């Protein structure tokens, strides 16, 4: 048994709660963050407590929707990707790990719920909440801030407050007077849950204030283990561990009463309760720390990051961290609503990828062994099909050091991979293989081309080449041999061909910078494979079959079964971000292409064309332009390659107004780990990285009045939009450091060197 712990004075605590000194020169920008934005639809976001890029994302979960019903996928589970739905009337409890609007999900580890009255050891159901430990709540008694969450649990008359450090979630529950107060720990709970998801759970009651254990699950990550340590500020008077899975063989453990005051349990499905007497207004606090390595690691994290029980101090310190991150852009957006949009987008952009190592640098690797990050912070949760487009380019401006460490984490993944591949979509020491392409490549290439590469770039290039030559991955062998992926051999074939071609161009750019001419030539040739799936007669990208013929019964409006993923041919035919000029010539020249692009935004896409695609909803569509899904995010900026660049300007502003609102239903699609928000931030500042792997950001129309970007290199880049208003959406002239810019883009170096960019705005286009 461990020595009883109440105040954590067992070791010399020279480490303060993870945080930064308050930057007194920065305004309080946390007040503009509204974590509730986007919580009402499709599981976009979660409103709980987390530190920037924190391992712990402590948040309320509002239901227990199963992944499957009667052995079949339950489509209702999709909207619970982040665990919280604004329209739900009850809260089941507060779990410690979440994804921010990923469109698929996992996690939801270690749900904690305080209750009063008769002990109930199941969560109940939404239609009969009184049958379990869940509670009704009201948004009138709910408060969400960066690093803090508060809600009144009406059925139990308990006020719940949450905050967090990087690796520790801190709970504070204010109880009424009760002889039957309980805190439930549910290890059965999970997001996208099903009966077999837990492969094993283990709990030890170390003493009357300390619990340790772990959860192993088989989900999106098929072999995931998370360890925990849970400390109470007050000793419990009794407890119980309930195993909810029966086994034929029980060994000699059967001689014990294992459910009442017995100090350990091991089973697939465990729930525990800890019982207290409470006085009116008494606060019981919990510190809940995580580790991928061991319960000892979880305890070390707890000691280091929360050495005392001062909830307000932890909250203040975490909000200071958030203010430091948000203060990297001091913005005047023109109104409180637009300020909320901007800083909430920054908040969403800095939720992940998440730190994935203990305070001593240890973490579980892809090979399921324990590794130590040497000279870098290890990160996990790489939603790369989404985030390579704008989030990682945003990091190269606002978070360059973190982005380097994320790339080092990807290279560590590569070293530990039995496939010798960079991450596709990885989290918690697992590759889940979600989505298409090999989009670690543009993240690495973008950093290399922009000079933000404090890592072995030659080794990184070799890893990119090896990944791009893994023939058994997702139709890649066909792509290498034939120059396209055949639809009858591998579905979503056109999307794969187009995205492989772009990734190959990124490899070529790295090779060129490193003087690797053979690699450059090979991958530049591969980068032209997009031409092989263009049907010149129809004017659209179209799936080919293995015999070289076009797939029959093709409909460029349909998002289902046409060779594309999360998009139709109208949108995906524009996905040649690395070579727009050739694509435009191929599609009939600038004039015809401009008309085509105009039609995309003005035509209507009937619901029947995306009815079978749950990732696409009416909320994220303008005309036939699908902003709620990432393949279209660069499209509005393609006017810069035509004779009408001004046509992007009013459309950018239209998208910003339509897809981003300071409301619970304020996002037009899944935030996808920050990609939607990163698009907003770039576009609000007036420029966008059309092709990561290039050093260019193409102009649109700024939606802010001014911004001061405080760069990590100590320089300041200022943005001013003179005359900017809801009517003045067109750019008349752009000046950089007082000199008129004639280009349609700004380079990365021009931003990072500091200076001032001035837009002169007008209500008339500059033709």
Place of tokens 């094993």: 200
Take residue 61 and report the two structure tokens written for it.
Answer: 């979960």
Last residue of a domain, one of 630, 651, 677: 677
Assess if residue 25 is contained within a domain. no
Q: Rg of the chain's alpha carbons, rounded to an integer?
A: 26
What is the DSSP-derived secondary structure letter of residue 7? S
Q: Are 85 and 665 in contact (CB under 8 A)?
A: no
The CATH number linked to 533 is 1.20.1610.10
Check whether residue 492 and residue 384 sit in a common domain. Answer: yes
Q: pTM of the full predicted structure?
A: 0.96
Check whether residue 383 and residue 315 sit in a common domain. Answer: no
**pLDDT confidence band for 616 (50 / 70 / 90):** confident
CA separation, residue 294 to residues 194, 253, 416 (Å): 25, 24, 20
Check whether residue 481 and residue 549 sit in a common domain. Answer: yes
b/e code 258-280 from CB counts within 10 Å (16+ = b)? beeeeeebebbbbbbbbbbebee
Q: What is the pLDDT of residues 393-447, one digit of tens each?
A: 999 999 999 999 999 999 999 999 999 999 999 999 999 999 999 999 999 999 9
What is the length of the chain?
767
Total domains in the fold of the chain:
2
257 exposure class (CB count in 10 Å sphere: 0-12, 13-18, 19+): exposed
Assess if residue 77 is contained within a domain. yes
Describe the crossing of helices 336-349 and 675-685 by its angle, rounded to 10 degrees. Answer: 130
Check whether residue 432 and residue 292 sit in a common domain. Answer: no
Q: Phi first, then psi: what are they for 623, rounded to 5°?
A: 65, -115
Of residues 693 and 615, which shows the higher confidence score?
Answer: 693
- Least Cα distance to 110 among 74, 148, 77, 83 occurs for 83
- Least Cα distance to 444 among 527, 383, 507, 391 occurs for 507
Average pLDDT, the chain: 95
Element (H, E) at 679: helix 675-685
Check whether residue 286 and residue 388 sit in a common domain. Answer: no
Check whether residue 109 and residue 56 sit in a common domain. Answer: yes
- Its domain, for residue 634, covers 371-677
Q: What is the 3-state secondary structure (H, E, C) of 367-384?
A: CCCEEECCCCCCEECEEH
Q: Are 400 and 438 in contact (CB under 8 A)?
A: no
Check whether residue 461 and residue 538 sit in a common domain. Answer: yes
Percent composition of the chain: helix, strand, coil (DSSP 3-state, to 5): 30, 25, 45
Assess if residue 279 is contained within a domain. yes
Judged by DSSP in three states, 612 sits in coil
Q: Which pLDDT belongs to residue 137?
A: 97
Q: What is the pLDDT of residues 642-676, one digit of tens each?
A: 999 999 999 999 999 999 999 999 999 889 999 99
Pairing of strands 621-622, 625-626: antiparallel
Check whether residue 191 and residue 296 sit in a common domain. Answer: yes
- Least Cα distance to 445 among 520, 371, 552 occurs for 520
The CATH number linked to 217 is 2.70.98.10
Check whether residue 501 and residue 581 sit in a common domain. Answer: yes
Check whether residue 497 and residue 430 sit in a common domain. Answer: yes
**pLDDT confidence band for 10 (50 / 70 / 90):** very low
Last residue of a domain, one of 677, 709, 733: 677
CB atoms within 10 A of CB 736: 16
Assess if residue 466 is contained within a domain. yes
What percent of the chain has pLDDT above 90?
A: 90
Describe the crossing of helices 493-514 and 457-468 by its angle, rounded to 10 degrees. Answer: 150
Judged by DSSP in three states, 277 sits in strand
Assess if residue 604 is contained within a domain. yes
Assess if residue 6 is contained within a domain. no
Check whether residue 125 and residue 206 sit in a common domain. Answer: yes
Q: Phi first, then psi: what are they for 326, rounded to 5°?
A: -65, -30
Assess if residue 20 is contained within a domain. no
Take residue 494 and report the two structure tokens written for it.
Answer: 């056109």
The mean pLDDT of 85-114, rounded to a whole number, is: 95
Distance CA(40)–CA(547), nearest Å, equals: 46
Q: Which pLDDT belongs to residue 20?
A: 35
* pLDDT beyond 90 at 13: no
* pLDDT beyond 60 at 4: no
Distance CA(232)–CA(241), nearest Å, equals: 17
* pLDDT beyond 80 at 17: no
Q: What is the pLDDT of residues 475-532, one digit of tens each?
A: 999 999 999 999 999 999 999 999 999 999 999 999 999 999 999 999 999 999 999 9
Describe the crossing of helices 493-514 and 440-449 by its angle, rounded to 10 degrees. Answer: 30
Last residue of a domain, one of 677, 699, 730: 677
CA separation, residue 293 to residues 123, 203, 297, 298, 428 (Å): 29, 16, 6, 8, 11
Q: How far apart are the first and last CA of the chain?
A: 77
DSSP conformation letters of 364-433? E-TTSSEEE-SSS--EE-EEHHHHTTTHHHHHHHH-HHHHHHHHHHHHHHHHH-TT----SEEETTEE--
**Phi-psi region for residue 456, left (φ > 0), alpha (ψ -120 to 50) or beta?**
beta
Long-range contact list for 126-134, CB < 8 A, 24+ apart?
Answer: 126/63, 126/88, 126/89, 126/90, 129/89, 129/90, 129/155, 130/155, 133/92, 133/93, 133/184, 134/90, 134/91, 134/92, 134/93
Assess if residue 728 is contained within a domain. no
Q: What is the pLDDT of residues 21-42, one digit of tens each?
A: 334 468 999 999 999 999 987 6
Check whether residue 156 and residue 223 sit in a common domain. Answer: yes
Q: Which pLDDT belongs to residue 2?
A: 36
Q: What is the pLDDT of residues 233-254, one digit of tens each?
A: 999 999 999 998 888 998 999 8
Take residue 732 and report the two structure tokens written for it.
Answer: 């008349």
Residues 6+ apart with CB under 8 A from 347: 33, 35, 146, 322, 326
Distance CA(364)–CA(362), nearest Å, equals: 7
């Amino acid at each position: 048994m461990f020595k009883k712990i109440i105040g954590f004075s067992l070791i010399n605590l020279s480490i303060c709660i993870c945080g930064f000194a308050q930057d007194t020169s920065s305004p309080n920008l946390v007040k503009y963050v509204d974590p509730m934005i986007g919580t009402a639809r499709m599981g976009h976001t979660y409103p709980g407590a987390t530190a920037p890029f924190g391992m712990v994302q402590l948040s309320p979960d509002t239901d227990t929707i199963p992944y499957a019903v009667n052995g079949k996928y339950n489509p209702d589970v999709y909207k619970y990707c982040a665990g919280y739905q604004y329209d739900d009337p009850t809260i089941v409890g507060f779990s410690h790990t979440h994804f921010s609007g990923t469109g698929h999900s996992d996690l939801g580890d270690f749900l904690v719920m305080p209750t009063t009255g008769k002990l109930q050891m199941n969560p109940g159901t939404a239609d009969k909440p009184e049958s379990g430990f869940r509670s009704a709540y009201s948004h009138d008694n709910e408060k969400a801030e960066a690093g803090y969450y508060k809600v009144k649990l009406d059925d139990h008359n308990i006020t719940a407050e949450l905050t967090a450090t990087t690796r520790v979630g801190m709970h504070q529950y204010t109880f009424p007077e009760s002889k039957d107060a309980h805190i439930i720990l549910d290890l059965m709970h999970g997001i996208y849950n099903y009966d077999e998801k837990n492969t094993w759970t283990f709990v030890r009651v170390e003493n009357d204030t300390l619990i340790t254990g772990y959860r192993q699950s088989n989900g999106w990550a098929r072999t995931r283990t998370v360890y925990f340590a849970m400390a109470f500020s007050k000793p419990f008077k009794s407890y119980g561990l309930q195993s909810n899975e029966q086994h034929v063989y029980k060994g000699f453990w059967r001689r014990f009463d294992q459910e009442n005051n017995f100090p350990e349990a091991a089973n697939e499905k465990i729930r525990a309760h800890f019982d207290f007497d409470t006085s009116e207004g008494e606060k019981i606090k919990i510190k809940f720390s995580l580790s991928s390595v061991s319960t000892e690691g979880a305890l070390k994290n707890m000691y280091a990051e929360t050495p005392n029980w001062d909830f307000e101090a932890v909250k203040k310190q975490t909000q200071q961290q958030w203010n430091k991150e948000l203060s990297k852009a001091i913005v005047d957006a023109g109104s409180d609503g637009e300020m909320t949009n901007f800083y909430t987008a920054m908040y969403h952009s800095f939720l992940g990828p998440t730190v994935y190592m203990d305070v001593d640098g240890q973490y579980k690797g892809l090979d399921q062994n324990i590794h130590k990050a040497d000279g870098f912070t290890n990160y996990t949760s790489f939603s790369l099909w989404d985030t390579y487009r704008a989030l990682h380019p945003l990091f190269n401006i606002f978070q360059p050091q973190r982005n380097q460490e994320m790339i080092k984490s990807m290279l560590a993944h590569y070293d530990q991979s039995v496939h010798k591949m960079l991450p596709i979509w990885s989290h918690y020491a697992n590759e889940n293989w979600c989505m298409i392409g090999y989009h670690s490549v543009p993240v690495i290439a973008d950093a290399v081309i922009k000079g933000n590469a404090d890592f072995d770039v030659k080794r990184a290039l070799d890893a990119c080449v090896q990944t791009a030559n893994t023939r058994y991955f997702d139709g890649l062998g066909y792509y290498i041999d034939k120059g396209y992926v055949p639809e009858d051999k591998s579905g979503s074939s056109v999307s794969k061909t187009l995205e492989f071609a772009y990734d190959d161009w990124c490899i070529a750019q790295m090779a060129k910078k490193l003087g690797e001419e053979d690699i450059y030539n090979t991958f530049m040739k591969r980068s032209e494979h997009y031409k092989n799936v263009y049907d010149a007669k129809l004017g659209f990208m179209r799936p080919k079959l293995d015999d070289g013929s076009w797939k029959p019964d093709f409909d460029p409006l349909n998002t289902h079964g046409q060779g594309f993923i999360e998009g139709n041919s109208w949108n995906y035919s524009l996905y040649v971000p690395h070579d727009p000029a050739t694509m435009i010539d191929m599609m009939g020249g600038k004039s015809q292409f401009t008309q085509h692009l105009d039609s995309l935004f003005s035509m209507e896409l009937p619901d029947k064309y995306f009815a079978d695609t749950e990732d696409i909803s009416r909320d994220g569509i303008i005309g036939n332009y699908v902003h709620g899904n990432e393949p279209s995010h660069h499209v509005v900026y393609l006017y810069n390659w035509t004779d009408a660049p001004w046509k992007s300007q009013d459309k950018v502003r239209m998208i910003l107004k339509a897809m981003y609102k300071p409301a619970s239903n304020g996002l037009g699609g899944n935030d996808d780990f920050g990609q939607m928000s990163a698009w907003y931030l770039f576009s609000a500042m007036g420029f966008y990285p059309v092709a990561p792997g290039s050093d260019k950001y193409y102009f649109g129309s700024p939606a802010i009045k001014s911004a001061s970007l405080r760069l990590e290199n100590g320089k300041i880049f200022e943005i001013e939009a003179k005359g900017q208003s809801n009517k003045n959406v067109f750019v008349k002239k752009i000046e950089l450091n007082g000199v008129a810019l004639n280009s349609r883009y700004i380079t990365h170096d021009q931003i990072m060197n500091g200076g001032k960019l001035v837009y002169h705005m007008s209500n008339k286009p500059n033709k």
